[in-house]
Amino acid sequence: MAPVYLDHNATTPPHEDALDAMKAAWSQGWANPSSLHRAGRDARRFVEDAREAIAALAAQNPRDVLFTSGGTEANNLALERPFQGKTGGLLLTSRLEHPSLLAFAEELARRGVRVRWLPPGGKGHLVPEEVEEALRERVAGEPTLLATHAVHHETGAIQPIQALLALVERAGAELHLDAVQAAGRVDPGLWRGAHSTALASHKLRGPKGIGALVTRPGVQVKPLLRGGSQERGLRPGTLDPVAAAGFGAAARRALAGGPARYEALRVLRDTLEHRAIEVAAEAGVRVVRTGGEPRAPHVAHLLVEGWRGDELVAALDLEGVCVSSGSACAAGTAEPSPAIAALVGAERARSALRLSLGEVSTAQDVVAFVDAFRRVVTRR
């Protein structure tokens, strides 16, 4: 029997539309999209169609969509951009960020960029007043970037992006937004408009291994890789028209009703949380929710007292339920998630359980999870 899959923030299955587009690209667009001959032009068509769809999703121009290998590379490129070739500069970010921002921020600190770690509020949201305060440190003329996420990959917290963008604009600084968990899942008004935006295809039902950095007109990206002139020399390497076609189809679908489909999961998510807390209490185990509103409708983040998250993941896996204890990138490490540790302390963060629903999730999945969770917590 197929397992019950409740780990859609790690990745979510490709949609039929994406698979169909990829099949078409396999047969008609397999050539090198940079080649000038007809086969190359055919492949190029798939890439450019996809670029248009991704631009529409982010409400920017197709020429400002740069294909990358995924969200990680897009975040890396975005953090490199303002600081490459400059001395100094100011980066505002937080310990809540995905490792692809966090690790690059630490690297920039080693390179002499002043990094201000913004303290999160108790529910996992950035506090506009803290950002405003930190922006006062800006020295006129130096690159200043706020880099953060729109929807948190573990807690589902929705950040006050439009308020932060207004503060950044007023200070003459820039905003990079990691919208990997937001695009296609929450109202685009919550995440559009940043100077640069990172997207990943596999979180919106496209294939893995492709993403994009989308910029506002006039924002100059600096390459991290050296090589040919693909992607205007900003991201050298042969583009995969098949992956691009799948990403494009997924973006089109996300634009057509993605957030409404996720909103419909809210009732299931609330039931799941409520029942998980209830069955654990019956077994004498206290379960508390991390974070608070506003948050994405499909994510539940729970702290299960007396348990380690990785133990729960293994026990639930044996019961046929796939969940996670943190971000997939941190899976297999003994350390608790830095983001959750920043919120509730390292010790409590070890008991984290993340459940993320997706478009294919059903009420039966929730029932199966609750039954499995009950069996696991009562066994001790």
Ligand X SMILES: Cc1ncc(COP(=O)(O)O)c(C=O)c1O
Name the active-site residue from 24, 115, 225, 329: 329
Which one of the spans 139-147, 325-333, 341-349, 357-365 is the region binding ligand X (CB under 6 A)?
A: 325-333
| Single-letter amino acid, residue 257 | G
Taking a C-beta distance cutoff of 8 angstroms, is the pair 285, 305 a contact?
yes
> Edge to edge, what strands does the sheet with 144-149 contain?
65-68, 211-215, 196-200, 174-178, 144-149, 90-94, 114-118
Residue selected from 14, 33, 70, 358 as contacting ligand X according to rule CB under 6 A = 70
Smallest distance from ligand X to CB 178, Å:
5
The residue within the footprint of ligand X, chosen from 94, 100, 155, 325 (CB under 6 A), is: 100
Q: How far is the CB of 327 from ligand X (least distance, A)?
A: 6
Tell me how far, at minimum, the Cβ of 191 lies from ligand X, in Å.
11
Per CB under 6 A, the segment of 19-27, 88-96, 324-332, 351-359 that binds ligand X is: 324-332
**The one segment of 29-37, 65-73, 111-119, 371-379 that binds ligand X by CB under 6 A:** 65-73
Choice from 76, 93, 94, 181 touching ligand X (CB under 6 A): 181
Sequence-distant (6+) residues with CB within 8 A of 286 are: 280, 305, 306
Q: Which residues pair with 92 in a beta bridge?
A: 116, 146
Residue matched to tokens 């859609």: 8
Q: Which of residues 152-171 bind ligand X (CB under 6 A)?
A: 153
Neighbours of 288 (CB within 10 A): 14
Whether the link from the prior residue into 223 is cis, omega within 30° of 0, is no
User: Tokens 């492949």 identify what position?
Assistant: 43
Q: Which of 8, 15, 44, 98 binds ligand X (CB under 6 A)?
A: 98
Question: What are the start-end ranges of the E strands in the chain?
Answer: 4-5, 65-68, 90-94, 114-118, 144-149, 174-178, 196-200, 211-215, 287-289, 299-304, 321-322, 352-356
Contact 173, 116 (CB under 8 A): no
> For residues 118 and 281, what is the distance between their CA atoms, to the nearest angstrom?
35
Q: Which amino acid is at 341?
A: A
Catalytic status, residue 322: no
Q: Toward ligand X, which CB reaches closer, 47 or 78?
A: 78
Name which of 267, 269, 82 is nearest 172 in CA terms: 82
CB of 101 to ligand X, least distance (A): 7
149 binds ligand X (CB under 6 A): yes
Smallest distance, ligand X to C-beta of residue 68, A: 8
Decide: is 301 part of the binding site for ligand X (CB under 6 A).
no
> Binding of ligand X at residue 197 (CB under 6 A)?
no
Q: How many residues are given for the chain? A: 380
Q: Which is nearer to ligand X, 126 or 280 (CB)?
A: 126
Binding of ligand X by 71 (CB under 6 A): yes
Short-list 53, 61, 50, CA closest to 217? 61
Q: One-letter amino acid identity for 250?
A: A
> How many residues in the shown chain lie near ligand X by CB under 6 A?
16
Please state the separation of Cα 260 from the chain's center in Å: 18
Least spacing, CB of residue 335 vs ligand X, in Å: 17
Please report how close the Cβ of residue 152 comes to ligand X at its closest, in angstroms.
7
Q: Per CB under 6 A, does 234 bind ligand X?
A: no
327 lines the binding site for ligand X (CB under 6 A): yes
**Residue 183 lies near ligand X (rule: CB under 6 A):** no
Closest to 221 in 3D by CA, of 56, 68, 369, 374: 68
235 and 94 in contact (C-beta within 8 Å)?
Answer: no
Contact region with ligand X (CB under 6 A), list: 66-74, 126-134, 237-245, 253-261? 66-74
**Residue nearer to ligand X on the CB measure, 177 or 279:** 177
Token pair recorded at residue 373: 């969770």
Active site residues: 329
Residue ranges that bind ligand X, judged by CB under 6 A: 70-72, 75, 98, 100, 149, 153, 178, 180-181, 200, 211, 327-329
